[in-house]
Amino acid sequence: MLYCLAGLTCNEQTFAIKAGAQQHAARHGLVLVTPDTSPRNTGVAEADADWQFGTGAGFYLDATREPYARHWRMETWLVEELPSVLASRFPVRDDRVGILGHSMGGHGALTLALRHPGRFRSVSAFAPICAPSDVPWGRGAFGGYLGEDASAWREHDAVRLVAGGARAPMLVVDQGMEDPFLATQLRPERLEEACAAAGQPLTLRRHAGYDHGYFFIASFVGEHLAHHAALLRA
CATH class as words, domain 2-233: alpha beta
* Per-residue pLDDT tens over the stretch 58-114: 999 999 999 999 999 999 999 999 999 999 999 998 899 999 999 999 999 999 999
Q: Which residues of the chain have pLDDT under 70?
A: none
Is position 103 annotated as part of the catalytic site? yes
Q: Which one of the listed residues 36, 157, 174, 179 is annotated catalytic?
A: 179
Q: Which one of the listed residues 36, 38, 102, 103 is annotated catalytic?
A: 103
What pLDDT is recorded for position 108?
98
Is position 134 annotated as part of the catalytic site? no
Is position 156 annotated as part of the catalytic site? no
Nearest to 129 by CA among 141, 120, 138: 138
What pLDDT is recorded for position 221?
98
**Structure pTM?**
0.98
What pLDDT is recorded for position 234?
83
